[in-house]
Amino acid sequence: MLKFERLVFLGFLGLVACGGAEEKSPVDSGQPSSLSPPCDVAARVNYTNFGQGFLIENCQGCHASSTANRYGAPEGVSFDDVDQVWQHADRILERSVYSESNMMPPAGGPDVDALTRLEWWLLCAEEGT
């Protein structure tokens, strides 16, 4: 989906969560937001019901410790388990959800819904879940 559709969706969530206040979305600025995410209305997302499948499909081709060719992914930045993901949560958000160019994964892949769930997971879930 288009970045515009993501902005519209996040804008809607902002209206629901903030009672209509106009706030700049993290996607608008290309940077993680210091504003509280709409966690009270966000779907309950965690490693078990979303993250593990998302990582297998979109990340572990390069970011699994067992992959034969990491295609330039830094050694030590592997997402084999939930704890490794949480160690890099800010960086994952910065490079996938908040990047102007959606730099991760480099070949594209996740649609707006998957990126929104990734954001909700890493911003709203209890760390380690």
Average pLDDT, the chain: 77
Q: Tell me, what's the pLDDT at 29?
A: 43
Domain boundaries, given as residue ranges, for the chain: 3-124
Q: Give the tens place of pLDDT for each residue, 90-124.
A: 999 999 999 877 688 888 889 989 999 999 999 99
| Range 47-53 contact pairs with CB under 8 angstroms and sequence separation of 24 or more | 47/82, 47/85, 47/121, 47/125, 47/129, 48/129, 50/117, 50/118, 50/121, 51/82, 51/85, 51/118, 51/121, 52/82
CA distance 62 to 103: 14
3-state secondary structure of 105: coil
Structure tokens, 96:
């996938």
Whether this prediction's pTM lies above 0.75 is answered by no
